[in-house]
Amino acid sequence: MRRPAKTPPAGRRPAMPRPPAAARAPAAKPYHHGDLRRVLIDAAMQLVGEGGPEAVSVREAARRAGVSPGAPFRHFPSRDALMNVVAEEAQRRFRAEIEAALADAPPGDPLGRFRCLGIAYLRWAMKNPTHFEIISSRRFFDHDRSAAVSSDNAELIGLTERLLAEAFSAGQLGMRDLKQVQIAGRALVYGFARMHLDGHLPRWGVGEAEAERMAADILDLFIAGIASRAAPSAKV
Amino acid sequence: MRRPAKTPPAGRRPAMPRPPAAARAPAAKPYHHGDLRRVLIDAAMQLVGEGGPEAVSVREAARRAGVSPGAPFRHFPSRDALMNVVAEEAQRRFRAEIEAALADAPPGDPLGRFRCLGIAYLRWAMKNPTHFEIISSRRFFDHDRSAAVSSDNAELIGLTERLLAEAFSAGQLGMRDLKQVQIAGRALVYGFARMHLDGHLPRWGVGEAEAERMAADILDLFIAGIASRAAPSAKV
DNA sequence: AATCTGTGTAATCGGTGCTTACATTCACGA
DNA sequence: TCGTGAATGTAAGCACCGATTACACAGATT
C-alpha cells in the first residue's frame, strides 16, 4: 500500500505559541476563504483534466486555492471524499450531455436513438478522457459510496437497455437474445471509449481526427449486424 | 503530481561512520541475496495480483525480499523500470496462453479461430484482471518504452487482424468494411474485458460464474452479425 | 594476498495523506 | 453593544513513499 489510508498515529506535541498577527494589511487576504469547498473541487477537476486521476492531491489543490495544506480537510475528510465529489461532478456533466443529445433525436426509431446515444457517449468520453476514466473504473473511487453517481449511471444504463428493448419489441432485432444484444452493445461502446482512453487507437491506424468518424462507423456496423434484415452493405 | 518522478535534490550529508558489524551469526543471512532481481520481480507480480498496479511499491517489494529499501535500486533505476519488467512478464504470459489456445484450434475456418482467440483472451483477462490492467492501460507504464511488450502486443493484434482478413478474403464477411470489422471486434472483446475489470458486469446481472459463458455468447453474436448470411437465430 | 567490481545498508531529501493543537473570524443572541 | 460559540483557517508533526548518496561487505580476478 502506498497510501497509508488508516494510520492512527499517537503522540502530538503542543505547537509553539504563535505571535498574534496584529499588523496586517486589511484587504490583503481575508482569513476566511469565500467558498473554499467549491474552489477545491474546481481545482481537483482541473487537476484531473491535466494529469488524470492520479494527479489529484489534496496539497496541490490547497496550493492552487492559496490555502494551507490542512485546510481542505475541514471540507473533505479524506482525499477519497474529494475524489468522490469530483466523480459526481463528472458523472453529472456526462449524463447531462447525453440526455441533451438524446432530446434532439427524433422519437420513434429506437435503434436510431441508440445510435445517437452511443455517439454522444463516445464524443464526451473522447473529449474528456480523464474525467471519463474516473467514472468508468472502480479504481479511483467506489461507485457504491456515492448515491449520486450510482443513480446517474443507472439512469444512463437503463436508457440504453430501454432503447434496445423497444427495438426488440418492435421486431427490429430478429430472434436474437435481447440481453446479449444489450451487453454486446455496451461492451462495444465502452470498449471503443477505453481504447481511445488507453491510447490504443493509433495502433489501429485511427488518429485523433478520424476517431469520431470511426465511432459512428462501428456503431452503424453493430446496428446493421443486429438489425433483423438490413441491407448487408456497409461502407456508408 | 503525487509521485515526484524526477526531482533532483541537492545537498547530501556524509553518513556517520558505522561500527563494523564484526559479531554476526555466520549462517543467519548472507550479505548477498541470491537473486534479488528475480525475487523483486516476483514480489511485484504478487503485489499487482493482490492490490493492483497501484499497490506496487519498491519499499514493499524490498520488505518482502527481506532487504533494505535502497537495495532494489541496484537492480531497477526507478519504480517505473520495475513496473516495466512486471508488464513484460504479464504480457509474455498473456501471449503464451493465447497462442497455446490457438494452437489447439483447428486450422481453416478463420472465424472459428477468431472466436477461439477471443475466448482465450477473455478467459485470461478475467482470471488475471490486475495483470491485464497493466498491459492494457498506458497509465501504469509506457508501452513504447518496452520493445518486448510492444512486439508481443503487436503480434497478438496482428493475429486478430489476420484472422479477420482471411475471413474477409474467403467471403465470410459479405460486403462489410474489413477495417471496421477489425476495430469493432477489438472494441467488443476489449470492452468486455474492461467491463469485467472495472466491475461493471454485476450491474448487468452477470455474475462471476456466468461471465465466461456470456463472453462466448457475445462473441457468437458478433460473429453471427458480421458473417455474410448466417442463420439469424442466436441463443446457442 | 591485494584489489576490483558488484551488491546491500544507513541516512537523508522532498513529496504525499492525515491528524492535532491553536488562531482567527463570523453570526447569533442577551 | 457585547460576548460567546461554531466554523474555518494555520502550524506542526507523523508515517509512508520514491530516490539519492556515502559507505560496508563479499566474491572473483589478478
SS (H, E, C) chain A: CCCCCCCCCCCCCCCCCCCCCCCCCCCCCCCCCCCHHHHHHHHHHHHHHHHCHHHCCHHHHHHHHCCCCCHHHHCCCCHHHHHHHHHHHHHHHHHHHHHHHHHHCCCCCHHHHHHHHHHHHHHHHHHCHHHHHHHHCCCCCCHHHCHHHHHHHHHHHHHHHHHHHHHHHCCCCCCCCHHHHHHHHHHHHHHHHHHHHCCCHHHHCCCHHHHHHHHHHHHHHHHHHHCCCCCCCCCC
What CA dihedral angle connects A130, A135, A136 and A138, to 10 degrees? 110
**Residue-level pLDDT at B11:** 26
Cα A121 from Cα B187, distance rounded (Å): 15
Question: Is residue A18 predicted with pLDDT exceeding 90?
Answer: no
**Residue-level pLDDT at B30:** 65
**Residue-level pLDDT at B229:** 53
Question: Is residue A29 predicted with pLDDT exceeding 90?
Answer: no
**Residue-level pLDDT at B26:** 37
What is the pLDDT confidence band of residue A21, given thresholds at 50, 70 and 90?
Answer: very low
Question: Is residue B8 predicted with pLDDT exceeding 60?
Answer: no
* pLDDT tens digits, one per residue of B11-22: 222 222 333 333
How much is the mean pLDDT over chain A?
Answer: 86
CA distance to partner chain A, nearest, from residue B121 (Å): 14
**Residue-level pLDDT at B49:** 97
User: B184: which chain A residues are within 8 Å (Cβ-Cβ)?
Assistant: 188, 218, 221-222
- Residue bearing the bigger pLDDT, A21 or A54: A54
* pLDDT tens digits, one per residue of B168-215: 999 999 888 999 999 999 999 999 999 999 999 999 999 999 999 999
Positions on chain C within 7 A of a protein C-beta: 6-26
- Determine the nucleotide nearest to B20 by Cα–C1' distance: D24
**Residue-level pLDDT at A34:** 79
Q: Which of A21-30, A119-128, B148-157, B211-220 has the lowest average pLDDT?
A: A21-30
Place of cell 436474437: A176
Q: Residue B226 is nearest to which of A180, A191, A225, comparing CB atoms?
A: A225
Report yes or no: B213 at the A interface, CB cutoff 8 Å. no
Burial A171-200 (b: 16+ CB within 10 A, else e): ebbeebbebbbbbbbbbbbbbbbbbbbbbb
- Residue bearing the bigger pLDDT, A11 or B157: B157
| Mean pLDDT, residues A24-44 taken together | 74
Positions on chain D within 7 A of a protein C-beta: 8-27
* pLDDT tens digits, one per residue of A170-219: 999 988 899 999 999 999 999 999 999 999 999 999 999 999 999 999 99
Cα A201 from Cα A214, distance rounded (Å): 10
Cα B49 from Cα B218, distance rounded (Å): 27
What is the pLDDT confidence band of residue B46, given thresholds at 50, 70 and 90?
Answer: very high
- Residue bearing the bigger pLDDT, A20 or A72: A72
Report yes or no: B2 at the A interface, CB cutoff 8 Å. yes
Q: Which of A30-39, A75-84, A95-104 has the lowest average pLDDT?
A: A30-39
Q: Do B226 and A228 touch (CB under 8 A)?
A: no
Cα A130 from Cα A43, distance rounded (Å): 14
Integer distance in angstroms from CA B188 to C1' C19? 47
**Residue-level pLDDT at A7:** 31
**Residue-level pLDDT at A25:** 34
Question: Is residue A230 predicted with pLDDT exceeding 90?
Answer: no
- Number of Cβ pairs closer than 8 Å across A and B? 159
Q: Which three cell numbers, joined as nine digits, stand for B194?
A: 474492461
Mutate to test the interface with B, among A150, A188, A235 (most CBs of B within 10 A): A188
Q: Residue A203 is nearest to which of B157, B198, B228, comparing CB atoms?
A: B157
By percentage, how much of chain B surpasses pLDDT 70?
82
**Residue-level pLDDT at A14:** 29
Q: Do A221 and B226 touch (CB under 8 A)?
A: yes
Instruction: Return phi, psi of residue A35, to 5°.
Output: -140, 75
By percentage, how much of chain A surpasses pLDDT 70?
83
**Residue-level pLDDT at B176:** 87
Cα A37 from Cα A39, distance rounded (Å): 5
Question: Is residue B67 predicted with pLDDT exceeding 80?
Answer: yes
What is the pLDDT confidence band of residue A54, given thresholds at 50, 70 and 90?
Answer: very high
Q: Do B199 and A174 touch (CB under 8 A)?
A: no
CA torsion through residues B139, B144, B145, B151, sign: positive
Which domains does chain B show, CATH number per domain?
Answer: 36-74 (1.10.10), 86-226 (1.10.357.10)
The total number of residues written for chain B in this structure: 236
**Residue-level pLDDT at B235:** 34
Task: Give the residue from A201, A113, A52 showing the smallest Cα distance to B54.
Answer: A52
Question: Is residue A146 predicted with pLDDT exceeding 50?
Answer: yes
Q: Residue A188 is nearest to which of B179, B191, B229, comparing CB atoms?
A: B191
Q: Do A186 and B188 touch (CB under 8 A)?
A: no
Q: Residue B4: helix, strand or coil by DSSP?
A: coil
Question: Is residue B150 predicted with pLDDT exceeding 80?
Answer: yes
A34 touches strand C (CB under 7 A): no
**Residue-level pLDDT at A30:** 67
**Residue-level pLDDT at B29:** 60
- Determine the nucleotide nearest to A74 by Cα–C1' distance: D8
